[in-house]
Structure 1
């Protein structure tokens, strides 16, 4: 049984070592201005769609200006009333 455990630990250690070797070195310029696919993403809540199209647009523009690469938009609707006709529907398509 000890041989199996040691074998598993050795395989895991080799994978960590291999991952360290395969890392790409990046320049200071690349670090300061990462490619779009490497930018951070954030979590955003829509509370039963209680946001205006203008407000959502300003939020997304502000995030883009701050260097945020994308969002995970999560609709929270439990015990939250719909805001009314001036707000965007939950099925909005963001492109």
Structure 2
């Protein structure tokens, strides 16, 4: 027997019904012809996805973003020093 493949839209619809709490998991599973465990799994995944949606707000930085910014500023500094050295060696920037 081949496994059924459900679309993301279908999973979301079933998960939203389960989250609403108007029907039991068994009732939802019966209506949509899926196993109750599957409904529970989709409901849990939806809850976790909702948490992740609200954890990353605009204006907040990622945990690793500070290190990335620091590394980029370091690279800018090295490039500026290198540019000044190249200008001095090429004679484009007369001492003054």
Please state which structure has a larger fraction of its residues in strand: 1
- The two structures have a TM-score, normalised by structure 2, of 0.30
Please state which structure has a larger fraction of its residues in helix: 2
| Greater Cα radius of gyration, structure 1 or 2 | 2
Higher relative contact order (CA 8 A, sep 6+): 1
- The two structures have a TM-score, normalised by structure 1, of 0.30
